[in-house]
């Protein structure tokens, strides 16, 4: 990305973060769509995803949603994705899938190299789909892990020049639950079975009382992110005025 373009994007993101520092998530979304109309919302349809999907559907009813079906997801997640899309009236949901026939024909790559599996089934697929967009919306929140503790509402991906929007960055877990209750939103069925954070079935386990909500993701491994928010192995985050 040309340096002048990169500097311009960084300045725009810095301004957005400053102006919207104390604004509600809906305001962040409205401004995001005005600043970058060609945005996609990337959703895992996981434990808390319905809150952002509902909020975005109210701000922009025809929001483009990208859903990565890794082909290793829980059956409950696939059913939930269909149910939520129908309930919220999401008409533009694009389902992304990787071609694993060469790199992982027997679906065992996650056992040998979970990072490579995530890269194959998530990162590469998403990066290809996002080429058609100028930015994307995520449901990441500061409380979810230490690496997200300083998460701003707007970021720039240096390598791609895309804007990344995190409308719920400042929300707490209680904020999410309250929003879901007040709007009578459907819950992912696995939450009631002890899965507060849900990814692929082979790499997600139930969480015991008192554990961190993401303790069940890649349990026992030095890994707590799937990789879609990384470029060349590093967390992509710039324009960090918070």
Catalytic residues: 226
Q: Decide: residue 214, CB within 10 A, 0-12 exposed, 13-18 middle, 19+ buried.
A: middle
What's the chain look like in SS3? CCHHHHHHHHHHHHHHHHHCCCCCHHHHHHHHHHHCCCEEEECCCCCCHHHHHHHHHHHCCCCEEEEECCCCECHHHHHHHHHHHHHHCCCCEEEECCCCCCCCCCCCHHHHCHHHHHHHHHHHHHHHHHHHCCEEECCCCHHHCHHHCCCCCEEECCCCCCEEECCCCCCCHHHHHHHHHHCCCCCCCCHHHCCCCCCEHHHECCCCCCCCCCCCECCCCCCCCCCCCEECCEECCCCCCC
List the one residue out of 90, 28, 25, 27 whose CA is nearest residue 63: 90
């Amino acid at each position: 990305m040309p340096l002048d373009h990169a500097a311009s994007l960084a300045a725009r993101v810095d301004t957005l973060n400053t102006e919207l520092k104390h604004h509600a998530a809906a305001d962040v979304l409205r401004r995001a769509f005005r600043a970058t109309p060609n945005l996609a919302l990337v959703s895992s349809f996981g434990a808390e995803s319905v809150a952002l999907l509902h909020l975005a559907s109210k701000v922009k009813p025809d929001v483009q949603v990208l859903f990565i079906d890794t082909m290793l997801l829980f059956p409950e997640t696939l059913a939930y994705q269909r149910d939520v899309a129908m309930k919220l009236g999401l008409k533009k949901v694009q389902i992304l899938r990787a071609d694993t026939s060469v790199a992982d024909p027997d679906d065992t790559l996650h056992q040998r190299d979970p990072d490579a599996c995530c890269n194959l089934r998530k990162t590469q697929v998403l990066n290809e789909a996002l080429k058609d967009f100028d930015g994307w919306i995520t449901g990441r929140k500061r409380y979810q892990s230490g690496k997200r503790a300083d998460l701003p509402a707007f970021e720039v991906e240096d390598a791609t020049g895309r804007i990344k929007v995190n409308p719920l960055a400042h929300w707490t877990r209680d904020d999410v639950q309250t929003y879901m209750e007040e709007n009578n939103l459907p819950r992912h069925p696995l939450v009631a079975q002890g899965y507060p954070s849900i990814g692929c079935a082979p790499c997600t386990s139930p969480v015991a009382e008192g554990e961190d909500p993401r303790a069940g993701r890649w349990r026992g491994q030095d890994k707590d992110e799937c990789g879609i928010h990384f470029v060349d192995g590093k967390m992509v985050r710039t324009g960090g005025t918070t």
